[in-house]
Copies of this chain bind each other. A is one copy, B any other.
């Protein structure tokens, strides 16, 4: 099935070089296709590593190993395989990953544990070792490529390349943060996965990089959903080469740490939004702002209950200001809420306040808002100061076609 580019796609940005990061791609031909499907990022010595991973307990070998590698906090290389997720493949899958790590480590003269590996694509088929070996060999000696080439190469059923860039001033040193990401779609027997990679020339200790990435994750990747299904391979890694020459950031007391954190959060939010914009069948990008919850975490859970509700998502697809379905979703979230304190609005206009429909509610401007591509839903729980914003897309015939119709 040929997928059309998402109507919510954004153009790939101009992304500057990052000292200490060299990108290369190659054809491993994991599937019967003629495209680059193996990405290799070479990282300068001393690069700090952090990562966040899927909470799915049936995770892939790559995720299991990545969790261990992140503890050591050092990286020299990243390999991303597209077309085969290597998930649910037992010891044979693990052998393939270990082979790639050894091959790259031999080339760079580093420890195998400093080589990160991710895979995305078909599950239940061990990553073919011969194809991996040839692909890695080709990548190690390939000409350096652009950020957009790398972003395209990690993609599977993505309909557009997803990248973002930002920068921050640490004292009088400007540091750059680049990232690319894939995710959104799955066409059986492929399993969708969100894989994201962030590169910066800032000097940051591994522990503080992890602290920043975990915090940014809470407000970005953990606040998006397409269909409530959690991949077994979701991974976001951050690499800091330290080549910008700033005094290393080691805690929020380090000068410039706040600016770095703000930039990282911005980058992660941009990347997370791009995944939603490529959500399967997405026609509308939905922001759900929840305030007045008993805590930020409670607000996030309520937001995700709304974002995952098929009835809310189909209502938005139908351009229907169906606040009753939002009430229902709030109530099923399992978080503190009081029907008679609840307020719900669309596009900046309240439809219901304190548990009752507003008598002077004017649906015309709301209908106009819902006819657009960017939809805002506001929910005030009325109980506390907890706040969160989550993002999702609508649920359309396109989702069904992508996931159910491929056999017809």
Residues of A within 8 A of B (CB): 55-59, 87-90, 123-125, 186, 188-189, 191, 227-232, 308-311, 314-315, 317-320, 322-325, 327-332, 336-340, 342, 352, 355-357, 394-397, 399-401, 403-408
Bound: A397/B395 CA distance, A: 11
CB distance from A91 to the nearest CB of B (A): 9
Bound: A176/B404 CA distance, A: 43
CB distance from A306 to the nearest CB of B (A): 11
Beyond A58-B327, A227-B311, A232-B331, 14 additional pairs, beta carbon < 8 A: A56-B332, A57-B339, A87-B327, A88-B355, A88-B357, A125-B357, A228-B308, A232-B328, A310-B310, A314-B399, A314-B404, A315-B403, A318-B404, A320-B404
Return the contact of A395 from the options B318, B337, B400 (Cβ within 8 A). Answer: B400
The answer to whether B331 touches A58, judged by C-beta atoms less than 8 angstroms apart, is: yes
The answer to whether A124 touches B324, judged by C-beta atoms less than 8 angstroms apart, is: yes
The answer to whether A399 touches B352, judged by C-beta atoms less than 8 angstroms apart, is: no
Bound: A357/B407 CA distance, A: 21
The answer to whether A400 touches B337, judged by C-beta atoms less than 8 angstroms apart, is: no
CB distance from A329 to the nearest CB of B (A): 7
The answer to whether B230 touches A331, judged by C-beta atoms less than 8 angstroms apart, is: yes
The answer to whether A328 touches B124, judged by C-beta atoms less than 8 angstroms apart, is: no
Show 25 A/B contacts (Cβ-Cβ < 8 Å), sorted by A. Answer: A55-B332, A56-B331, A56-B332, A57-B338, A59-B339, A88-B324, A88-B355, A90-B340, A188-B315, A191-B324, A227-B311, A228-B308, A228-B310, A229-B309, A229-B332, A230-B328, A310-B399, A314-B399, A317-B404, A318-B406, A318-B407, A318-B408, A394-B404, A397-B397, A399-B400
Which residues of chain B come closer than 8 Å to A123, judged between CB atoms? Answer: 324, 327
Looking across the interface, which residue of chain B has its beta carbon closest to that of A405? Answer: B318
Number of identical monomers bound together in the oligomeric complex: 2
Bound: A317/B402 CA distance, A: 12
Which residues of chain B come closer than 8 Å to A401, judged between CB atoms? Answer: 397
Which residues of chain B come closer than 8 Å to A229, judged between CB atoms? Answer: 309-311, 325, 328-329, 332
Which residues of chain B come closer than 8 Å to A396, judged between CB atoms? Answer: 400, 404
Bound: A58/B325 CA distance, A: 11
Which residues of chain B come closer than 8 Å to A357, judged between CB atoms? Answer: 88, 124-125
CB distance from A171 to the nearest CB of B (A): 43
Which residues of chain B come closer than 8 Å to A317, judged between CB atoms? Answer: 400, 404
The answer to whether B405 touches A59, judged by C-beta atoms less than 8 angstroms apart, is: no
The answer to whether B58 touches A322, judged by C-beta atoms less than 8 angstroms apart, is: no
The answer to whether B311 touches A352, judged by C-beta atoms less than 8 angstroms apart, is: no
Q: Among A228, A310, A357, which residue has the most Cβ atoms of chain B within 10 A? A: A310
The answer to whether A403 touches B318, judged by C-beta atoms less than 8 angstroms apart, is: yes
Q: A88-B357, A124-B352 are in contact. Are A325 and B188 (CB under 8 A)?
A: yes
Which residues of chain B come closer than 8 Å to A339, judged between CB atoms? Answer: 57-59, 88, 232
CB distance from A276 to the nearest CB of B (A): 15
Bound: A273/B405 CA distance, A: 26
Return the contact of A325 from the options B191, B228, B329, B405 (Cβ within 8 A). Answer: B191
CB distance from A256 to the nearest CB of B (A): 38
Bound: A405/B55 CA distance, A: 35
Bound: A89/B355 CA distance, A: 7
Bound: A287/B406 CA distance, A: 23
Bound: A228/B400 CA distance, A: 17
The answer to whether B56 touches A88, judged by C-beta atoms less than 8 angstroms apart, is: no
Which residues of chain B come closer than 8 Å to A404, judged between CB atoms? Answer: 314-315, 317-318, 320, 394-396
Q: Among A232, A328, A355, A407, which residue has the most Cβ atoms of chain B within 10 A? A: A328
